[in-house]
Amino acid sequence: MTTPSLTSEYANLEPLRTRIRTHRLYSETDDDVNTSVIDALRLAGSEHLIDIGCGTSEFLALLAERGHAGQLCGLDASHSAASAAARLPGAVGIRATAQQIPARDGTWDCLTARHMLYHLDDPLRALREFRRVVRCGGTVCVVVNHARACARTRDLVAAVSARYGFREPTGMLNPTVDSRAARRRMITRW
């Protein structure tokens, strides 16, 4: 069995949209990560912001809907995802990896990387790139999946596994934590 590459896995964004909808339906709490991130960033609305691993570009679309007037950019290794960002009015889509961001040092005021680090072979290299492309005094916001996400999904997987005689997966999904409680810890300014 071969493992799909990141590029092939996200060649079509519909599976990603399905995962996002599933998370929203089966999360233990009413936790809107995009709104939590926007609230935590306290944006003035004029920042040049790049969203690394932009996926469906829902986050960038939300910023645009709220009147963000600064440059918005979605970067993703997937052609489909970068194209989705480019279709947003006033936004730019870049197909590239988080480990090699095609930008000069200090280009961006704000960088977000939501639920994407686990896709990378070398997340430390990506974090160094984040630091490089964000201006001194800028903001980096990284949101990661954690071991206690989606408790209802875990319970559903356990029930279906038991019904069909499969061993329950371990270490995959555990009780939910509301990410709003971690707002102060997810923002780094330098």
pLDDT tens-place string over residues 38-68: 988 999 999 999 999 999 999 999 999 999 9
pTM: 0.71
Sign of CA dihedral 119, 75, 177, 28: negative
Provide CATH code, domain 6-11+23-189.
Answer: 3.40.50.150
Q: What percent of the chain has pLDDT over 90?
A: 46
The whole-angstrom separation of Cα 81 and Cα 92 is 11
Q: Higher-confidence residue: 109 or 164?
A: 109
Cβ pair 44, 171 in contact under 8 A: no
pLDDT at 149: 54
Lowest-pLDDT range of 17-31, 38-52, 81-95, 107-121: 17-31
Which tokens sit at 145? 């999946």
For residues 113-142, give the mean pLDDT: 90
Q: Higher-confidence residue: 190 or 38?
A: 38
For residues 104-118, give the mean pLDDT: 93
pLDDT at 83: 97
173 has a pLDDT exceeding 50: no
Q: Higher-confidence residue: 95 or 28?
A: 95
The whole-angstrom separation of Cα 92 and Cα 84 is 9
100 has a pLDDT exceeding 80: yes
